[in-house]
Structure 1
Amino acid sequence: MDVRAVEAALRAAGVADGYYWIDGVHEPAPTPPDFVYLRRVVGSEGGGRAEGGEWEVGTYERGVHQPLARYADESAACAYLLRQLT
């Protein structure tokens, strides 16, 4: 499963748009005050977001990203996000 497939699965399950954020794929506007997110993060070896790195699932509340889990594999991160929201 990739980020586009997990977005489709969340929509099919009836999860409200404002409950989740998937960087580059599903970014509700206006930005909700809190949500569960999925984003790609790069370790200390490189600056910014790029190919490589890990996938992070977490919550965003009161302006703070709180990581819950990190995965080397996109599919595993997507499966975790889906489990958290369905």
Structure 2
Amino acid sequence: MNRSTLHTVLRALGVRDGHYYIEGVHEPSPLPTDFLYLRRSRTTPGMWETGAYERGTWETVAQHAREEPACTHLLRLLTGTGNPPSGGNTP
């Protein structure tokens, strides 16, 4: 799954906009006080990072070599599962 698909899945699941930040796809402004995020690494070129933003500090939880595993990780952090809903009804 890519970042756009992740955003679509999170919206379908009813995850509130202020709970997450996805670089280039969903960047709330002004930034909420705290949220989980997915963005390109600021320290390692070519890597992606997932983490938590709290009170003005970006705290990296994990780095990923590709966008897809980073998306799956953020989905897991936000919902407890790394699997998008399968067709049909979504909660």
Deviation of the 1:30 alpha carbon: 2.1
Partner of 1:21: 21
Identity rate, percent: 52
Partner of 1:37: 37
Q: CA RMSD in A?
A: 1.3
Partner of 1:12: 12
Deviation of the 1:62 alpha carbon: 1.1
Partner of 2:65: 72
CA contact (8 A) 2:18 2:28 kept: yes
Deviation digits for residues 21-74 of structure 1 (CA, Å, limit 9, x no counterpart): 011110112210110010012556xxxxxxx61010000001111000110011
Q: 1:4 to 1:34 in 2, by over 3 A?
A: same
Partner of 2:89: none
CA contact (8 A) 2:41 2:63 kept: no
TM-score normalized with structure 2 length: 0.81
Any unmatched runs of 5+ in structure 1? 45-51
Partner of 1:47: none
Deviation of the 1:82 alpha carbon: 0.3
The number of equivalent residue pairs is 79
Cα distance in structure 2, aligned partners of 1:33 and 1:57: 17
CA contact (8 A) 1:43 1:53 kept: no
Q: Which runs of 4+ in 1 moved over 4 A?
A: none
Q: 1:85 pairs with 78, 82, 91, which one? A: 78
Residue 3 of structure 2 aligns with an amino acid whose one-letter code is V
Higher relative contact order (CA 8 A, sep 6+): 1
